[in-house]
Amino acid sequence: MIRIDKVVREYKTGETVVPALRSVSLEIKNGEFLSIAGPSGSGKTTLLNLIGCIDAPDGGEIWIDDQAVSKMDTRQKTDFRRNNLGFIFQTYNLIPVLTAYENVSFVLSILSVEDSEIKKRTMQILEEVGLKGMEHRRPDKLSGGQQQRIAIARALIKQPKIILADEPTANLDSATGEDILRLMKQMNERYGTTFIFSTHDKMVMDWADRLVMLHDGSIVSDERRRQ
């Protein structure tokens, strides 16, 4: 369970203070497939960054499974991210010199998992995301959709509680985008992983079980579409 309580985030540019989130409160249950939507500058990425413990709020609190992540120090946040969170980025952010296999497996290497276990799990997840036979290809030899599949596999391999995806389909054509969303949904159902993804794309919003709309840093609607 994620509990966001009156979270405020402001950015300072010189003397000017720009509010990115204005007292946002939200509860997200385990296993939800939730989309945070809104126009550009509405605070979607900021909210994802706060939940993902890669940014800190200026006010309010964020709790994940009874842990006050907003009060953690940098080291604790790093440990928390390593053990509990997965990330999918708009631009995939794969390491260009590593193969598909290495890009995925490195997450387990960070967790000091044994080599034989790394190999087993990596091959399994690559098969699940439809990249069997492409393990040795580097990102530049793969399409955008395939690269995002690697990113999904990378996020999933450590079986995190939560996966945060910042506009995961923004760089893909609509058909490929839909493939990616289908895959994310499958993984959500198979592993019970909470998926939180941001978007401003109507098609992507339609895939969400729950849609939270942001506007100018405030939640303007919170709509549950499917159970």
Q: Which residues bind another protein (CB under 8 A)?
A: 45, 49, 52, 54-55, 75, 78-83, 85, 87, 89, 91, 93, 95-98, 102, 106-107, 109-110, 154
Rounded to whole angstroms, the Cα distance separating 216 from 220 reads 9
CB 175, min distance to another protein, A: 26
CB 77, min distance to another protein, A: 9
CB 93, min distance to another protein, A: 4
User: 210 to each of 32, 36, 121, 122, 223, how far by Cα in Å?
Assistant: 8, 9, 30, 30, 6
Considering beta carbons, is residue 168 or 211 the nearer one to another protein? 168
CB 146, min distance to another protein, A: 18
Considering beta carbons, is residue 63 or 80 the nearer one to another protein? 80
Contact (Cβ atoms closer than 8 angstroms) between residue 8 and residue 21: yes
Considering beta carbons, is residue 33 or 87 the nearer one to another protein? 87
Contact (Cβ atoms closer than 8 angstroms) between residue 148 and residue 131: no
Rounded to whole angstroms, the Cα distance separating 8 from 23 reads 5
Taking alpha carbons only, the member of 105, 213, 90 closest to residue 158 is 105
Considering beta carbons, is residue 16 or 227 the nearer one to another protein? 16
